[in-house]
Amino acid sequence: MPLDSLPMSVAFFVVGAAAIWLGGGRLPETGNNLAGKLGISATAIGLFVLSIVTSLPELSVTLAAMLKEGAPDLAFGNIIGSNNFNITSIVILELLVAGTFLHNVDRARYARTCVYLLILTGIAGLGVLVGPRMSSPVLPVLLFSVPIVAIFLHDSLTHRKVQGKRTADADARDVRGGTGGVVLRFLLLSVVVVVGGFAIAKGANGIASYEFPGGMTLGHTFVGTLLVAVATSMPEVSVAYAAVKRAGLEDMAMGTILGSNMVNILVFAVGAPLLAFRFSQSAWAVISVSNLLSVAAALLLTLFVLVGILSRSHRAGKTIARSMVFLAVPVYLIALFLVYRSA
């Protein structure tokens, strides 16, 4: 059976998704253990550690899509689609929390993070809009990497010693073995996730390019925005769910979601110049304008979260926050439908 046939593409995708589910689902716990040994707060763990750890699937898929498959729309669709799915998953957290989830998190910290995320997403949309005129691989790095790295450095240096509602010290004390064993486990799981990412990219590329009866194809943008995005978002959603359900750590859950979304945009920004190794041009020069639909949804969904967080001081804040959360579902589904139609 040819490797580019539909059954083989589906097989690659399923195997890759399983690897990411098994490896990525265990990465947050391992990252949490390492962070706990350093005495980092639950908030900092979510925003600065787990956000990076849980973005490894997006990183591996982006690298594979750029370097091996030459499919920038698949990579960008995965990044923005994952961000949209992550924020929409807050609906699940809202149902778990006694009260209002968005009112149980650090208001100042996450309102600021939402603003930064809105800015970075807007820049990404601008890159998609004017991408055909951006032939230099350096400019995307300057537009995305520099501000996000600056934000992470600032928050890491300023808040690393600040304690959240609970710390991960208790979790760290329960870890068997030394730090070396935990590091080795982290590296092995990371390899599993990276290999899974390459398998997903290969399978998704085949699914997106396959011509169904009648000449219909799903397209890289839609496949990346839906199938790949949901598969690579499993670590973020699973750790956020566990943080709220098992430990009541709303700050860790929110930090993981918003922090991962910021890292995801950085991942594409850094990965965009890699396409030059295959096509002598940056990904921004060939990315489809249909991705603007997902970018618009990402801006709207992030704005919902920001309004919900800031509504705490309003008399009808609880109603406003929950309305913002549940509005995310129809916005996400409508965006998916429009992306599919445009593809």
139 contacts: CB under 8 Å, gap ≥ 6: 282, 284
Q: Write the DSSP string, 90-126.
A: HHHHHHHSSS-GGGSS-HHHHHHHHHHHHHHHHHHHH
pLDDT of residue 1: 62
**Rounded mean pLDDT, 83-102:** 82
The whole-number average pLDDT for the span 304-325 is 88
Give 169's pLDDT tier (boundaries 50, 70, 90): very low
Q: How far apart are CA 27 and CA 142, in angstroms?
A: 30
Say if residue 163's pLDDT is above 50.
no
The H-assigned helical ranges of 210-287 are 220-223, 229-232, 234-247, 250-271, 276-279
Task: Summarize pLDDT for 272-283 with one digit per residue, the tens.
Answer: 877 777 777 778
- pLDDT at 48 (0 to 100): 64
3-state SS class at 168 = coil
Q: What six digits make up the tokens of 20?
A: 């990411």
Nearest to 227 by CA among 6, 17, 8, 15: 17
Query: Which segments of 156-228 are extended strands (E)?
Result: none
- 206: nearest Cα among 1, 12, 4: 4
Ramachandran sector of residue 42 (left: φ over 0; alpha: ψ -120 to 50; beta: rest): alpha
* Domain boundaries defined on the chain: 6-342
The per-residue pLDDT for 40 is 62
- Over the stretch 94-149, which tens digit does the pLDDT of each residue have? 877 656 788 888 888 889 889 989 998 998 998 889 887 876 767 777 777 677 67
Tell me the three state secondary structure of residue 41.
strand
Report the range of poorest mean pLDDT among 28-42, 73-87, 285-299. Answer: 28-42
pLDDT of 206 higher than 60? yes
Q: Residue 132: left (phi > 0), alpha (psi -120 to 50), or beta?
A: alpha
pLDDT of 260 above 50: yes
Question: In CATH, what number does 6-342 get?
Answer: 1.20.1420.30
Which is more confident, 188 or 171? 188
Instruction: Tell me if the pTM is above 0.85.
Output: no
pLDDT of residue 161: 46
27-31, 193-197, 333-337: range with highest mean pLDDT: 333-337
Mean pLDDT of all residues belonging to the chain: 78
Q: Tell me which of 168 and 100 has the higher pLDDT.
A: 100
* Radius of gyration of the chain from its Cα atoms, rounded to whole angstroms: 19
How much is the average pLDDT of 22-27? 70
Q: At what angle do helices 72-88 and 234-247 cross, to 10 degrees?
A: 20
pLDDT the model gives residue 342:
79
Residues 57-66: what's their mean pLDDT?
Answer: 79
Return the ∠ at Cα 310 (arms to 308 and 313), rounded to 5°: 110
pLDDT classification of 31: cutoffs 50, 70, 90: low
